[in-house]
Amino acid sequence: MATLGCAGDRISADEDTPSELDQIIGAYKRSKFLAEAEVQRLTRDEGLQAVIVNPSTPIGPGDIKPTPTGRLVLDAARGRIPAFIDTGLNVVHVDDVAEGHVLAFTKGTIGRRYVLGGENMSLQQILAAVAAVAGRKPPRFKLPHGAVLPVAYVAEFIAHLTGRPPLATVDGVRMAKKHMYFSSARAERELGYRARPAAAAFADAVAWFADAGYMGR
């Protein structure tokens, strides 16, 4: 979904929501935008047989590294996130994203985009859902974005010195000013795609982290 535009505050965007390169925050997401644009050009001009899928925020078992979203779930399950900011994500079980790839391959229209998403949730709702799975109390304190941005700069500096992933990134805090909500209606209608409730993704992710020894004592 990094290549898609945002429709507005708490409004679900879709495959046709316009997006421009200069609106995208961070080199990582800009590289995705440019790569997708090249696939679209090759499909249009040179007959490349490509179908595009745009997963939202996959959560679930097997997140070995873990990814930034997996780290969010892990830290919340361990009680290491004491507060939240006003933002939101579309959360989807990683197994549903995998199934969506297969559906797009077998049923998708060449050159067409398909959002593979799940449930739109505020960060407060996400942290509360993970806390419920882990048997912890959810964070109650809401912080303004302006208070978190300096922390992200310090976290990136410390990460540069230690080589460890930062607890927060500047690009991440800037992106968090938007509620990144999306609709999978096209994939549901044309591919038969279905996503399970986000609570199942959190439960499977926390269970896998616990079994794999990520949770500590």
The model's pLDDT over 173-204, given as tens digits with 9 standing for 90+, comes to 666 667 889 999 999 999 999 999 999 999 99
CA torsion sign for 165, 169, 171, 177 is positive
Is residue 69 within 8 A of residue 76, CB to CB? The reply is no
- pLDDT > 70? residue 214: yes
At residue 174, the pLDDT reads 67
Residue-wise pLDDT tens digits, 105-146: 999 999 999 999 999 999 999 999 999 999 999 998 888 877
Rounded CA separation 100/98 (Å): 5
Residue 170's pLDDT band, with cuts at 50, 70 and 90, is confident
Average model confidence (pLDDT) for the chain? 90
Task: Print burial letters for 113-139: b (CB count within 10 Å at least 16), e (below 16).
Answer: bbbbbbbbbbbbbbbbbbbebbebebb
At residue 175, the pLDDT reads 67
Look up tokens 């080589």; give the residue.
Answer: 163
- pLDDT > 80? residue 7: no
Residue-wise pLDDT tens digits, 12-49: 989 998 888 888 888 888 999 999 999 999 999 999 99
At residue 202, the pLDDT reads 98
Look up tokens 């790569």; give the residue.
Answer: 35
Structural domains present in the chain? 21-211 (3.40.50.720)
Rounded CA separation 198/32 (Å): 25
Residue 168's pLDDT band, with cuts at 50, 70 and 90, is confident
Residue 217's pLDDT band, with cuts at 50, 70 and 90, is low
- pLDDT > 90? residue 6: no
